[in-house]
Structure 1
Amino acid sequence: MAEVLIIGGGPAGMAAAAAALEAGARVTVLEAGYDLGGQYWRHLADGRSGANEAALHHGWDTFLELRRTITEGCDVVLGAHVWAVDRNDDAPPLVHVMVGAPDGTDREPRTYAPDRLVVATGGQERTLPFPGWDLPGVFTAGAAQALAKGERVAVGQRVLVAGAGPFLLPVVTSLIQTGATVVGVAEASGPRRLARGWLPRPWELLGTRSKATELGGYVQAMARHRVPYWTGRTVVEAHGTDRVRAVTLAGLDDDWTRVPGSERVIEVDAVCVSHGFVPRTELATAAGCAVDENGFVVVDHEQRTTVPGVFSAGELTGIGGADLSLAEGEIAGSAAAGRPPRPQALEKRRRYATFASRMHAAHGIRPGWQTWATPETVLCRCEDVTVGEVRDIAAKTGARGLRSLKLTTRAGLGPCQGRTCGRNLEDILVVETGGLMQAGRTSHRPIATPVRLGELAATLTPAPAPERAPDREDHP
């Protein structure tokens, strides 16, 4: 019986666990949170949940069924923080974990050596910098939704949502359900680009009709609460001293370049921004998995990576949403357990991968975003490095390598280790120098999560030798 270890308890990881279990494998799931579900099915703990929990989650019945299957048949380790992955010759890598509260002092160290490994660590939001984006009251859209789903807390009373992509719409719904007034939604892509992405070959979208139903629900909620939706506009500046008090909206052309003279100021007490997602590949790259030019993990038709015995699924292999993650997870789990994936899962992956490519064509980040930032705009918030400093150093040194630029400016070397600024730093370097060596290098982190020196030392201390049995002549 194969031992399959799955890192991540979101849609992809849960689907992988259920499929591997059905195929007869012995399955262990590592999830850093207090429950399964990941960021997509982020919810109140069972003791605090209410009867209306399903109203905040799409596919809630799917989640409940997957969770029941997994908790009954798998070893689920919650509060499991994977801090390192060690390559292990031709075998799957060793996985080092600290189990316990992230800020606890008594976490339990564990090391796993599975027969097969599925990495399903998901993605995180990407936020493009603009003047004032570091003010209190400026949130990522995902943080606002997490507070709404996980705590029933609104980030403000008068909120603007801005950025790009369909994810903005469920965030609006979550804000409305927690009592906030949403003053508007600003989508950076304009009507022509949206049409070019979504309208051609409409028959390709027939297999994803559930997405249209989901969209209809969001549109109804926005219409009921009279939330305006603007296209080809975005937040280019946040105003305030102690916190955000207003934002400036500006029009954008098809390349997302700011249009002079199109500015408009709106009073708010909070703004939620999201410009898409980037994969959380630090564990996959530590394991030796190859990534493509966009930073996504390279997989084959059965979700195998370039490392023997290691599979990957979900946002790591391409941003596509929960439905695509569920399909990829099922394929990866089946293959990891030695069973060919179901044709239905392969077809579902194909349909939702097509949807994902259309979504990227309509809403993907365009290079003109760099016109929003002034030289004084903070790029790396951990180390207080500005856009102007990075551009100046890149121009003077001509460096095409991220390592030298990071060491010179300290951008990306703070507590978040480049998770917030890394991809923006890469884009700026490409513009300034015309190229980039080792794209995605900001995701390389030998230690993936914070570990105390005492915890690290404990894992490196050799275990005491077993006590030797007494000699016979000493004890006749």
Structure 2
Amino acid sequence: MREVVVVGGGPAGIGAALAALRAGARVTVVDTAEHLGGQFLRRPRTPAPQFGPSDHSGGPAPRRRPSGRDRLRRAVRAIEGHPAHTILDRTSVWALEPRDSAPTVHALRGDSDGGSPDHREAHTLRPDALILAPGAHDLTLPFPGWDLPGVFTAGAAQALAKSDGLAAGRRVLVAGSGPFLLPVAASLSDVGADVVGVVEAGSAGRLAAGWLRSPVGLLRDAAAGRVEELAGYLAGHVRDAIPYHVGAGVIAAHGAGRVEEATVASLRADWSPVPGTERRVAVDAVCVGHGFVPRLELPIAAGCGIGPHRAVTVDAAQHTTVPGVFAAGEATGIGGADLAVTEGVIAGWTAAGGRADDPLLRRALRTRERHRAFAARMRRAHAIGPGWPAWLTPDTLVCRCEEVPVADIDAACAVTGAGGPRSLRSLKLTTRAGLGPCQGRVCGTALTELVRRRVPHAVSSEPVDRRPIAAPIRLGELAALDTVGQTSGEDGDVPGEASAVPPARTPEGEE
């Protein structure tokens, strides 16, 4: 029986795990959360919201067809009920060690912020195939005041609302670009926040050109339920009287000690502000998201090839450039939960030994192409405009961890031709930008773009996400690794026997 390790318990990881189980593999899922599902299926931890719920029930809920969340929940139950599965929850993969087959996975299980150095369990997994589904993190472009308390990433604000029933503030402004702003605003409204507006940076023309291109494709997407879902969020905005503005953005936040106001301005098609259109909005929280960035630390550690668009390169079977390593979901390109699940199904089936041309995968392969077309439509509609640096002032922090302002970046770039930094890496070492606790996860995209504009030759195609230690680990934990009990799939101590695995019927990720 093949041993398959899936890193990541979001939609892609769920699809991969269930497909690999149904293909006859023994599967271990490694995830940092307590439950599978990622942000998409994040579960509440507290029963009541902070500011009081908004009740929009109006009687019994109408009958509806199963949603993507319903199908994903069924898939989670199927995984948890399968005899050949193991779930390592609250577990961080901190390193991958190359070997002839799939890399060795080094992980620590337990809370990372308390207890003695040996309070986390060390696990070493040596699978026959490794599926990387690490997901993505928020992309937030800097602006003056984005370091004030009360400025949240859109994902963090939604996580607070979903997990704890907590609103980021009483008067909240949601801004940035992309359809994700709509569910974020809905989550905040559901926990009692007064969402004073949703501000979309893309112009009406750009949105129309992106979303309405190829009407036949749009009808196909509507049939798949995605357009219906977006329409549902827009209907909720109308119901809750949440203003929705296009071609505008938050270009500054203001406050003494925390955010008290946000400056909103109309934006040109390139996202540069239109002079004279600035207005201040009284808020106590700003939730900003300009899209997402794939998490590439583990794929890079495994040696996977990274394409020009900062995504893992995969073939038709979701196989990377490294033998035994597959990738699925946002790491291969931002595309949403539906695409992530489908890519996971294909990766899981083939990682378990199934053929990519297996007739059982025909439906999944067709579905993947449809979802990829939808993702391309979304990227065109919400592409970041090149004029966003016009928001910045010399004292705007680019790197919040190390408190590095734009002026320091400019000064370092100005001397590159006179013995100064000659590469992005040397510039980071000179200014400390991107070297703080987040290791450039928050500022990396903006920093790279600012340097590229000033010193194009300093930015190479080499990814900036190379972090051999992919997750925080204490020196005491490193020292104790030779004595802490370990788990190895190679040694056969992952639950599940070959005789207990039912024959595969479908890889589609549904019951």
Same fold (TM > 0.5): yes
Q: Aligned residue for 1:308?
A: 323
Q: Against the structure 1 CA distance between its residues 441 and 330, is the aligned structure 2 distance closer, same or farther, given a 3 Å change threshold? A: same
1:347 corresponds to which of 352, 366, 374: 366
Partners of 1:167 and 1:226 in 2: CA distance: 18
Two-structure CA RMSD over aligned residues (Å) = 2.1
Distance 1:170 1:24 in 2: 37
Q: Tell me the distance in 1 between the aligned counterparts of 2:428 and 2:289.
A: 25
Q: Find the partner of 2:245 among 230, 241, 246.
A: 230
Shift of 1:192: 1.2
Residue 68 of structure 2 contacts residue 338 of structure 2 at CA under 8 Å; is this kept in 1? no
Partner Cα separation in structure 2 for residue 85 and residue 454 of structure 1: 19
8 Å contact 2:40–2:69 — kept in the other structure? no
**Pairing 1:6-17 to 2, within 5 Å after superposition:** 6-17=6-17
Q: Which amino acid aligns with 1:102?
A: S
Q: Note the C-alpha offset of 1:199.
A: 1.5
Question: 1:400: Cα distance to partner?
Answer: 5.1
Q: Does 1:377 align with 2:409?
A: no
Distance in structure 2 (CA, Å) of the matches to 1:97 and 1:45? 25
Q: TM-score, normalised by structure 2?
A: 0.87
Deviates more, 1:366-375 or 1:15-24: 366-375
In structure 2, give the amino acid aligned to 1:93: P
The CA distance in 2 between the partners of 1:60 and 1:193, in whole Å, is 30
Q: Answer yes or no: is the 8 Å Cα contact 1:426–1:439 preserved in 2.
A: no
Q: Which residue of 1 aligns with 2:91?
A: 80
Q: 5+ unaligned residues in a row in structure 1: which ranges?
A: 464-476
**Displacement, 1:435?**
3.9
Aligned residues: 459
1:93 alignment counterpart: 103
Q: Deviations over 1:133-165 (max 9, x none)?
A: 010111111111101111111111111100000
Tell me, yes or no, if the aligned pair for 1:14 and 1:329 is still in contact at 8 Å. Answer: yes
- Checking the alignment, whether the CA contact within 8 Å between 1:10 and 1:122 is kept in structure 2 is yes
Give the corresponding residue for 1:433: 455
Which residue in 2 is equivalent to 1:69?
78
TM-score (ref. length: structure 1): 0.93
The residue type paired with residue 79 of structure 1 is R
**Distance in 1 of aligned mates of 2:104 and 2:88:** 17
- Do residues 277 (structure 1) and 288 (structure 2) align? no
Could you tell me how far 1:462 is from its partner in structure 2?
11
Mind listing any 5+ residue stretches in structure 2 that lack a counterpart?
A: 50-56, 486-511
Instruction: Indicate yes or no: 2:178 matched with 1:159.
Output: no
Q: Identity across aligned pairs (percent)? A: 52
The answer on 1:409 being equivalent to 2:431 is yes
CA shift, 1:429, in A, is: 1.0
Matched, 1:359 2:370: no
Distance in 2, matches of 1:435 and 1:232, equals 32
For the pair 1:109 / 2:118, whether they are aligned, the reply is no
1:4-43 matches, cutoff 5 A: 4-43=4-43
Residues 64, 45 of structure 1: CA spacing in aligned structure 2 closer, same or farther, 3 A cutoff?
A: farther
Would the aligned equivalents of 1:402 and 1:441 in 2 still touch at CA under 8 Å?
Answer: no
Select which of 103, 117, 126 maps to 2:139. 126
- Conservation of the 8 A alpha-carbon contact between 1:99 and 1:107: yes
Letter in 1 for 2:107: V
For residue 48 of structure 1, report the CA deviation from its aligned partner. Answer: 9.8
Range 138-147 or range 103-112, more displaced: 103-112
Q: Distance in 2 between matches of 1:131 and 1:260?
A: 16
SS of the equivalent of 1:304 reads coil
1:47 CA displacement:
9.7
How far apart are the structure 2 equivalents of 1:441 and 1:59? 33
Which whole-Å deviations, capped at 9, do the CAs of 1:174-220 have from their partners, x for residues lacking one? 01100011111110010111121112211112332111111121111
Q: Could you tell which deviates more after superposition, 201-210 or 367-376?
A: 201-210
Q: Deviations over 1:222-273 (max 9, x none)?
A: 1111111111100000010111111000111111112111111111111100
Q: Give how far 1:359 is off.
A: 0.7
Residue type matched to 2:95 in 1? Answer: A
Correspondence for 2:470: 448
SS in 1 for 2:34: coil
Stretches of 4+ aligned residues off by more than 4 angstroms = 45-49, 460-463
Corresponding residue number in structure 1 for 2:153: 140
Counterpart residue identity of residue 9, structure 1: G
